[in-house]
Structure 1
Amino acid sequence: MADKTVDGGPWTGCAVMFLQSLCPGVNLLSLYKDPQGKFIIFKVIKLTLTDSAGGLGTFEILKVHDADPFLGVEVKFMNVAACRQFLESYSSGAVRQYLCQHACRLLALPQELTVETQLKAGTHILDRCLDKLDLCLQHINLSQPERLRDEEIDELEQQLQSQARGPASQSVITQEESPVPSNCFKFQNRVFEDRMLTAADVQSFSNGVGRQWKHVGRALGKNCRALKGPAIDNLAYEYEREGLYEQAYQLLSRFIQAEGRAAKLSRLVKALEDCKLTSLAENILDLQPRE
């Protein structure tokens, strides 16, 4: 698949993802229409796309609209690699998994969320040809955006960036000139509550680390006996056929299994910093890059 559009410019393409909760009492469309729920649902969608398309800057949300009973999300992909990664995530069910995990966490749902999805590019329903990724990419490439980003999305993006930078951030504990509490850690001059690594952390790491997973493994191995010696190379050999995602997934899973309650978020962030992977750390911490 070439990295050029039909007009010879850089590759871009547009798709619309339709979302509907199948759980009673959780209506994504109604939540988005609610002033208080709108931002949370937008954040869930943004984090889901970030996980499934390979990081920030690989896509742009143009519009979120009422497609009753679905919530429609129009997405512009910035390059063919990101779009292909999204399609692979969508085809494997990972997109639904990310969506459910982020929704359960941010909406504090007492139950596991189940969602129905549909993906379209123009008049083409891509769910019918997901086994032909090049054809899906062609449909998306031919479906160029008809509009600029919606003003409502601009406002939500600004709110998301303000939350990440400002004192009201749910993730960040602002403490200027104060000692870092024992249950917290510091990253980029911000203080975060430390916690055990979660399944969502493992998946975000596995999606974003790529070929650098070995370097991160060796950084973690400095203080983890289970990852010392030939352990990293053994993992690479054992899961070579499954690919980079599975190798990275097994690395972090082994770290958590070996370290138990000591497998903290701070240790992963420190290892990522040591490997110059700060953007991945920001993604795991739900941070937007500073402008």
Structure 2
Amino acid sequence: MGDSTDAWVGSAYLFVQSTSGNMLLPSLYGNPERKSQVFKAFKLALADSTGSFNGVDMLKVHCSDPDLIVQLKFCNQVNCRKFLQSYREGTLHTSLQRHLKVSLATPTPVSVQMELKTGAGKLDSMLLEEERCVECISQEKPNHLRDEEITKLEESLRNLSCQESNSGIMSSAIPSPSGSTVDSAVQSPSLDSSLPPSSVKSLSSLPQGDTFLFQGQQFANRRITLNDHQKFAKLVSKKWKQVGRSLQAGCRALRDPFIDNLAMEYEREGLYEQAYQMLRRFIDSEGKRATIQRLVVALEENGLISLAEELLGVHPNETAV
């Protein structure tokens, strides 16, 4: 009973110091206009480390020049171990630097150095002894509830994500004026009924090879080009998330919570950049397997037939009947 996973709880302190010129994280966090940006970068990086926004909780942020000290709370061993693995392998370090660069809109990467500590001392020297690290963290019980400021920052970040998601759903349901290429891509589910049944069956059931079938025609199963990439980002509009989740099945790099993190990370840059970065992640991680067929399958699954036609150079009046 005492060893129940539900009863397990632990805490640790993450010390983060910027090594980029005169950029001081405590000063940035203390700036009301920058606080939410710094918090966002830390929250996204921590979510990356465990694969969930709820994997590790931020209880309090202390400003102690030159360090920003984040008190972390873990509610189960699984997420604690995931965090330790991410920290040990440098994934958390890389993720935080990337998120800080984007959130703070800096022209160059934000370099940081980290230390992980508990009351038992520095954990960096014992990272290869995972059981020992977990034990140290479990002995460091949280000494207070989450700060009210942290709660407000987290709620603000979640609301921003929800608003972006909801606006995408609402917009796709509102009829758009004809003549706009982007709008026709979003409204393309209505095109399904005008195509023969054989044209709209899932391409994922077709054999892989040098060619594939789409609307009764054969196409070379080439790699996604830069032109494809740019067209996709321009025309997919608010449905980029759905397409990303369709690509997720065969691409570990797009697994949750990457897509939601990406939406928040590039929220200020807009839909084009969000869609562009999602497809870039797919291309970078899949290499030669990032083919036009896989993208067309994902587009078809989400009713974006006109966008698939655009990428393949097909026009509706030229398709087989």
Same fold (TM over 0.5): yes
Deviation of residue 19 (structure 1)? 0.7
Structure 1 portions without partners, runs of 5+: 187-218, 230-256
How far is 1:39 from its partner?
A: 0.3
Seq. identity, %: 31
Deviation at 1:146, TM superposition (A): 0.2
Partner residue of 1:177? 174
Q: Do the aligned residues in 1 keep the contact of 2:62 with 2:69 (CA within 8 Å)?
A: yes
Task: Determine the C-alpha separation between the residues in 2 that align with 1:116 and 1:78.
Answer: 26
Deviations 1:106-127 (A, max 9, x none): 2111112211101012242001
Say whether the 8 Å CA contact 1:121–1:139 is kept in structure 2. Answer: yes
Distance in 2 (alpha carbons) for counterparts of 1:57 and 1:178: 37
Paired AA for residue 268 in structure 1: G
Match of residue 271 from structure 1? 247
RMSD: 3.9
Q: SS at 1:258's partner residue? A: coil
The answer as to whether partners of 1:3 and 1:80 remain within 8 angstroms in 2 is no
Q: Secondary structure at the match of 1:166?
A: helix
Structure 1 residues 281 and 135, CA, compared in 2 at 3 Å: closer, same or farther? closer
Q: Answer with 1 or 2: which has the greater Rg.
A: 2
State yes or no: 1:258 paired with 2:223.
yes
Alpha carbons of 1:272 and 1:24: their partners in 2 closer, same or farther (altered >3 Å)?
same
Letter in 1 for 2:244: L
Q: 1:150 to 1:23 in 2, by over 3 A?
A: same
Residue 62 of structure 1 aligns to a residue whose secondary structure is strand
Q: Distance in 2 between matches of 1:53 and 1:183?
A: 36
- Give me the whole-angstrom Cα distance separating, in 2, the residues matched to 1:182 and 1:274: 29
Which of 28, 32, 46 in structure 2 is aligned with 1:31?
28
1:189 equivalent in structure 2: none
* Structure 2 unmatched ranges of 5 or more: 187-201, 213-221, 233-239, 265-321
2:154 is matched with which residue: 157, 168, 181? 157
CA–CA separation in structure 1 for the residues paired with 2:147 and 2:79: 22
| Aligned positions, number | 223
Q: Distance in 1 between matches of 2:144 and 2:100?
A: 28
Provide the rounded CA distance (Å) in 1 between the counterparts of 2:153 and 2:99: 17
User: CA offsets, 1:57-101, max 9 Å, x none?
Assistant: 222110011122100111111211111111111111111100011
Paired position in structure 2 for 1:48? 45
Deviations 1:159-195 (A, max 9, x none): 112212236x9x9697472539755887xxxxxxxxx
What is the CA distance between 1:141 and its match in structure 2? 0.6
Do structure 1's residue 60 and structure 2's residue 57 form an aligned pair? yes
Higher helix share: 2
Q: 1:274 to 1:116 in 2, by over 3 A?
A: closer
Q: Partner of 1:16: helix, strand, or coil?
A: strand
Structure 1 range deviating more: 171-180 or 125-134: 171-180
Name the CA shift for 1:228/1:281 in 2 (closer, same or farther; >3 Å).
farther
Residue identity opposite 1:63 in structure 2: K
| Partner in structure 1 of residue 218 of structure 2 | none
Residues 1:115 and 2:112 are matched in the alignment: yes
